[in-house]
Amino acid sequence: MLGHNPPLDPVQRMLVDVTHTQLPLVAGKQVAEEQGPLLAFLVRLTGARRIVEVGTFTGLSALSMAQALPPDGTLLTCDVSEEWTKHAREAWAKAGVEDKIELRIAPALETLAALPAEPSIDMAFIDADKENYVGYWDALVPRMRQGGLLVVDNVFLHGGVIDPEATGPAAAIKEFNERVKADERVESVMLAVADGLTLARKV
């Protein structure tokens, strides 16, 4: 599969390597290698100009999306870790996309609540703490423009969502998946990409 996808560019490759060598215990948080080209593809497909991301980590998904934005496009990304996002800032600067990306270090629920209420977001990527997915969804859906695309990662939670006794993050994702399925404001599909990926289009 990777051999038939667009290859990572040198900065993306460096970011994968740096994440694995300098943060080996948490490197698994990084999006899977096939997700960067997919996110870039979706940015170009939708013609997105205004993107909001929840969960920056070391910045690979933000980098992939920012590189696919048109020159006047912007990406707001939310995280709580200065330590992890330091690597993101370095990579974005190396790739020359730092002017397109705004990183806010604060609990993402606060960052999203402070955004304008009007529907102006073209694309959103949710990839952070699972217990807050419903909160992120509720903050983002009204702010998405009609036809805007929401992309949500880890909707399988490594299989935890099919455990009838699920607790913690798995229970949170289970509840989230049910909410998305029942949400008439969107048309959604769940895909077996990496750890499960939901795509939802605001109708």
Ligand X SMILES: C[S@@+](CC[C@H](N)C(=O)[O-])C[C@H]1O[C@@H](n2cnc3c(N)ncnc32)[C@H](O)[C@@H]1O
**The pairing of beta strand 74-79 with beta strand 101-105:** parallel
Does 58 engage in binding with ligand X (CB under 6 A)? yes
Say what angle helices 168-182 and 133-140 make with each other, to 10 degrees: 30
- Of 144, 146, 106, residue with least CA distance to 128: 106
81 binds ligand X (CB under 6 A): yes
Q: Which of 43, 87, 127, 133 binds ligand X (CB under 6 A)?
A: 127
CB of 88 to ligand X, least distance (A): 8
Interface residue with ligand X among 90, 129, 138, 183 (CB under 6 A) is 129
Tell me how far apart the alpha carbons of residues 50 and 61 are, in angstroms, rounded to a whole number: 15
The 86-125 site mask, x for binding ligand X (CB under 6 A), equals ---------------------xx-----------------
Closest listed residue to residue 38, CA positions, set 86, 78, 5 = 5
Cβ closest to ligand X, residue 16 vs residue 182: 16
Q: In the set 8, 12, 16, 30, which binds ligand X (CB under 6 A)?
A: 30
Spatial distance between the Cα atoms of 47 and 123, rounded to a whole number of angstroms: 9
Interface residues toward ligand X, by CB under 6 A:
29-31, 55-58, 60-61, 78-81, 84, 107-108, 127-129, 132
